[in-house]
Amino acid sequence: MAKRVVFVDCGTENLRIFDSFEGLICDEPSYALLSETGNIMISGKEAKEVFYKPPEGAYPVRPIKNGMVADHRLLFEIMSTELKNKVKRNIFSKPDLIFSVSPFLNSVGRRAIYNLGSSLQFKNISLIPSYIFFLSSFDISPLTTEGYLILDLGAGKIDICVTSFGRMIKGKYIKEGMGLLEKKICKHIRDKYGVDIGNNLDNLYVDLAFSNDYITVSGKDKVTGIPRQKDINSEEIKDIIKLFSENLSANIKMVIEEIAPDLSSDIVKNKLIMVGGGSKSIFLRNNMEKSLEIGIKENSNLGNETIKGFEKTDGMEKILFTEIIKLFEG
């Protein structure tokens, strides 16, 4: 009988939990509102909808920040509720627990994740770097000897990784991630047009490639405080994204400059693997391709790469995961 495994991807933006027996059991935004006593009032999608306009007596909190556990107790309570309601436990056989984590997660962050798994009463807990699942989602063996360049555009952080044979050869971690781009867009609109749109971007930059000459934003007037709508020239937003992509490309080039020529050759041949929520922006993808002069692999699992990758690696021999864990921890 196949071993039951629960897989968890604790993203800054979304918490995803996959059960190898039940399938996807949780795909909720990583948001919560707490009461004055610290109890969870609402979490997930409901909390995200009112996160930046909370009712009186409610305090908005995010359990994950910049790809790391920011509130252990809150994340434990949210996961505990999801697992209790949707994972049927067998007293004679506890499922294994696998976390997908950033390869740049330090020892303190790893310990926090491991302690979380222990608190949830799982016996066998593994932390596996996310690039393993990214590769698998593209039907690439995690232990391939060829070199791959992976760009993970998360909401709270960006990971740049060059991998080969299950290891990260070179890489770089950029704090804030796509959230930094969103802040720049909001600041531009606030400074130039006097409209504070808060965090109400609604993935504006994602669909920009298909937008008209002007896009409409709404918020409150910076001076009068009254609700206001404003038409913004889409080229202004595109210019901000172009600058963002150029800075990102410069960071990627610094990583590539430090690797062996053979790995560079592999990367050109295999193309850039671009994953995470930010990869949904076609305009950003096109700009990255131009500035790097490297092709980008077609991605049919946009935003869901870790889950799809886990599904494809679920049938691997256990020794493969063991070997990857040794590489990651060693």
Q: For residues 209-238, give the mean pLDDT.
A: 84
Same domain (yes/no): 160, 274? yes
Q: Are residues 282 and 154 in the same domain?
A: yes
DSSP code of residue 322: H
Q: Is 323 exposed, middle or buried (0-12, 13-18, 19+ CB in 10 A)?
A: middle
**pLDDT for the residue numbered 109:** 86
Give the 3-state secondary structure of residue 178. Answer: helix
Q: Considering the entire predicted model, what is its pTM? A: 0.90
- Residue 185 resides in a domain: yes
Report the pLDDT averaged over residues 103-132: 88
Confidence of residue 61 (pLDDT cuts 50, 70, 90): very high
Are 220 and 292 within one domain?
A: yes
In a domain, 77, yes or no: yes
The per-residue pLDDT for 146 is 96
| pLDDT band (50, 70, 90) for residue 328 | low
Looking at the structure, tell me whether residues 74 and 180 fall in a common domain. no
Helix spans in the chain (H): 45-50, 72-86, 107-119, 130-137, 178-193, 234-256, 261-270, 282-292, 305-313, 318-329
What pLDDT, on a 0 to 100 scale, did the predictor assign at position 93?
64
Range with the lowest mean pLDDT among 41-45, 58-62, 198-202?
A: 198-202
pLDDT confidence of residue 201: 64
Instruction: Give the pLDDT score at 318.
Output: 44
161/119 same-domain check: no
pLDDT in tens, 233-259: 888 988 999 999 999 999 999 999 999
Q: Give the total number of structural domains in the chain.
A: 2
Same domain for 95 and 154: no
